[in-house]
Amino acid sequence: MRSALRMNAWLTAALLIAFAQTAGVPAFGQSRKLETTNVTVGLSVNDSTFLPIYLAEESGIFKEEGLNVKVLAFRGGSDMTRAVVAESVQVGVAAPTSVLSAIVAGEDVRVFFGGFNQMPFYWYALPPIKTLAGAKGKRIGITRFGSSTDALTRFAMAKAGLDPQKDARIIQGGGSPERLVAMETNQIDVGIFSWPHNFIAADRGYNLVARQSDLMPDFPIQSFFAARKFIDANPETTKAILRAFIKAVRLAKADKPRAVKALVARAGLEEKYAVRAYDELIDGWREDGRLASDEGMKKFFDMAIASGDVTEAWPKEKYWDDRFMKTIDEWKPQ
C-alpha cells in the first residue's frame, strides 16, 4: 500500500514538472519563460577583457540558458552603441563612457550590470618619446572617438599637462592589434594598449609612457547596457544573459587552460601572451555586477568631464538601471 502511494506521488510530481515545462511555468528552480531567445550581443572591440562572453558562447552556456546568442565585435564602443540604439544589437558590452554619450544625445539607454572591474590600459610610444608629456605635437592612436580609449587618453593627457584639443593629434586606429601595426608602420607615435598587447608593445621596444593604474584606483572597463524598452520588455531574457555571464566567470576561474585556449582562439593571441593576460585579468571579473568603487566612479566621471563627454558627475539613476542588482540573489545561478 505504502509502495503504491509513493509511486502515485512520484508520478504526480513528474506530471506536474512536465506540465510546468510545457506551460512555460518555473518548476523547482527553473527560470521563467524567456520573452525572446534570439539575442545579438555587441562587444565594443575584440579584446581579452571579454573572455567570459567568449566562454559563454563557445562552451554552450548561453544555450544552457535557452538563448541563441550571436556575438558581434565592433571597432569601438561608439560604433557599437549606435548599433544598440538602432536595435540591430539588443545588448551591448562596453565601457559606460559610450552609454553616457548616448544619453547626452537623448537616447534612452541604461547600464544594468557591471562585472568587469579592471584597469588594462597602458600608453606606449616610439623612441625617443619617454613620457606622455613628451608626446606634444605627436600622433596618438585610440580605437574610436567617443570610446573609453578616447576618454582615457584625453584624461591622461590633461594629467600630463597637455591640452587634448591642441597639443597632439588623436587618431582613430581600431583595436589594439591595428594600433600596433600603425606604430610599426610609423602612422602613430603613441598608442593606448590593453592586455596583452601592452606586453607585445614592450617586447617590440616601445617606451611605456603612462599607466591607467596610476590615474585611478579601479575602473568599470566594460558594462552591460541596452535600450530601456528592451530591458522593460525582456527582463527574463536579460537575467538569462547575466546568469550565463556569471557561469562563464566561474568557468574562467576554475579552468585556466580552457580560458587561455579561448583567448588564443577568439582574441587572436599567442599563448604566452594569453597566459599573461589571463593572470592580470582574472581577479577583475565579478559575479556581483559591480561597476567600480565610489572613488573609482569619481575618477571615471573626472575622466568623462576632462574628455568633454559630460559637464559634471551624474547621479547613478541617470545612467543605471538597478532592477537586476536589487534582485540578484533571486535569479543568479547557485
**Domain containing 268 — which CATH number?**
3.40.190.10
Does 202 share its domain with 281? no
Does 49 share its domain with 89? yes
Q: How confident is the model at residue 282, as a pLDDT?
A: 94
Q: What's the mean per-residue pLDDT of the chain?
A: 88
C-alpha span between 104 and 310 (Å, rounded): 8
**3-state SS, residue 305:** helix
25 band by pLDDT with thresholds 50, 70 and 90: very low
Q: What Rg value do the Cα atoms of the chain yield, rounded?
A: 22
Q: How confident is the model at residue 5, as a pLDDT?
A: 37
β partners of residue 72: 42
**3-state SS, residue 35:** coil
CB distance 152 to 76 below 8 Å = no
- Residue 90 belongs to a domain: yes
- Residue 50 belongs to a domain: yes
- Residue 321 belongs to a domain: yes
Does 152 share its domain with 249? no
Q: Stretch 104-125: mean pLDDT, rounded?
A: 95
pLDDT tens sequence across 189-231: 999 998 888 999 999 999 999 999 999 989 999 999 999 999 9
148 band by pLDDT with thresholds 50, 70 and 90: confident
- Residue 208 belongs to a domain: yes
Query: 3-class secondary structure for 217-233?
Result: CCCEEEEEEEEHHHHHH
- Among 171-185, 197-211, 237-251, where is mean pLDDT lowest? 171-185
Higher-confidence position of 230 and 303: 230
Higher-confidence position of 324 and 17: 324
153 band by pLDDT with thresholds 50, 70 and 90: very high
Provide, rounded to the nearest whole percent, the portion of the chain with pLDDT above 90.
73
Does 87 share its domain with 225? yes
Does 83 share its domain with 225? yes
Residue that finishes a domain, picked among 173, 197, 214: 214
- Domain containing 168 equals 122-214
Residue that finishes a domain, picked among 214, 248, 277: 214
Q: Stretch 66-84: mean pLDDT, rounded?
A: 92
CA 176 remoteness from chain centre: 15
Q: Pull the grid cell for residue 195.
A: 592586455
Q: How confident is the model at residue 332, as a pLDDT?
A: 96
CB distance 55 to 258 below 8 Å = yes
Judged against a pLDDT cut of 50, whether residue 285 lies above it is answered with yes
As for how many domains the chain has, the answer is 2
Does 229 share its domain with 306? yes
- One-letter identity of residue 129: I
- One-letter identity of residue 284: G
User: How many angstroms separate the Cα of 120 from the Cα of each of 96, 156, 193, 206?
Assistant: 15, 14, 8, 17
Q: Stretch 309-316: mean pLDDT, rounded?
A: 93
User: How many angstroms separate the Cα of 235 from the Cα of each of 44, 111, 201, 291, 321?
Assistant: 23, 14, 42, 20, 12
CB distance 27 to 14 below 8 Å = no
- Helix H or strand E segment including 123: strand 122-125
Does 311 share its domain with 265? yes
